Structure 1
Amino acid sequence: MKTKWLLSSSAVMMGLLGLAGTFIPEEISTILGIDPSPITLILLQIIGGLYLGFAMLNWFTRSALIGGIYNKPVVLGNLMHHIIVFFALIRQLADQFHFILLIFTLAYLGFAVWFTLVMRSNPLSNSTKKSD
């Protein structure tokens, strides 16, 4: 299973979210209807930093052998992140529907399923087949 597309697309999505959270927390809090108090702004910036860190991890690991026991911490960290955010978004959608939340929910579901498949795959099965 090719994981370069998975890690690259995950890195781009997380990088964009991280840059937004880091550099425009006031605008994000206004869009979300949250009071832009100092604690809210610093929490958005911290979350943005976390997203940027995950984006860098995924970006620099995208060419490595991933799946099964190879780079398992990277896969498990991503899987846990995507599953937890997916369930949080589902809960929010149940309370109040927004189209952008639906898009993010579907994206996180897709990444959660894809990382699950990578975790259960053997990356050496395709590369070690003997040719006749």
Structure 2
Amino acid sequence: MKTKWLMSSSAVLMGLAGLVGTFIPEEISIILGVEHSPITLILLQIIGGLYLGFAMLNWFTRSALIGGIYNKPVVLANLIHCIVVFFALIRQLAEQFHFVFVILTLVYLGFAVWLTLVMRSNPLSNPSKM
């Protein structure tokens, strides 16, 4: 299991989401069909900032030893994020089916499973993991 691929792909995905949320919140609110009031735009920018923060965290820890007790806070924070977003998307799919939600749900499920496997693994038992 290559944790560098996990952290890099997560960083790129979250970085793109963060840039979109931070720099084009008006367009995102139009696409989502939400009224673009000042509070909505600020919330989208705050969420974009959170995604950028996670992206930077994942990008800078991509080469570190990850798994088991090593970098456990990083893995646990990412895992909690993925699980919460996964369940939010499942709830949204139950109310309104949309193909984009299905794709996002599968992506977040994949990351959650991968992060769970990383958290339960021992990176020192197999030196080819890094």
Same fold (TM over 0.5): yes
Aligned-partner Cα distance in 2 for 1:24–1:48? 10
Offset from partner CA, 1:41-100 (integer Å, 9 cap, x none)? 000000000000000000010000000000000000000000000000000001001111
Structure 1 unmatched ranges of 5 or more: none
Query: How far apart are the structure 2 equivalents of 1:111 and 1:90?
Result: 15
Could you list the runs of 4 or more consecutive aligned residues of structure 1 that deviate by over 4 angstroms after TM superposition? Answer: none
Partner of 1:23: 23
Instruction: Render the CA deviation track for 1:17-48: whole Å, top value 9, x for unaligned.
Output: 00000000000000001000000000000000
Cα distance, 1:5 vs structure 2: 0.3
Tell me the C-alpha RMSD between the 2 structures.
1.0
Shift of residue 2, structure 1, vs aligned partner: 1.5
Distance across 2 between alignment mates of 1:126 and 1:120: 13
Larger Rg: 1
The reply on whether 1:122 has 2:114 as its aligned counterpart is: no
d(CA) in 1 for partners of 2:72, 2:88:
24
Q: Give the number of aligned pairs.
A: 128
Matches within 5 A, 1:44-83: 44-83=44-83
Identity percentage of aligned residues:
84
Q: Which runs of 5+ in 2 are unaligned?
A: none
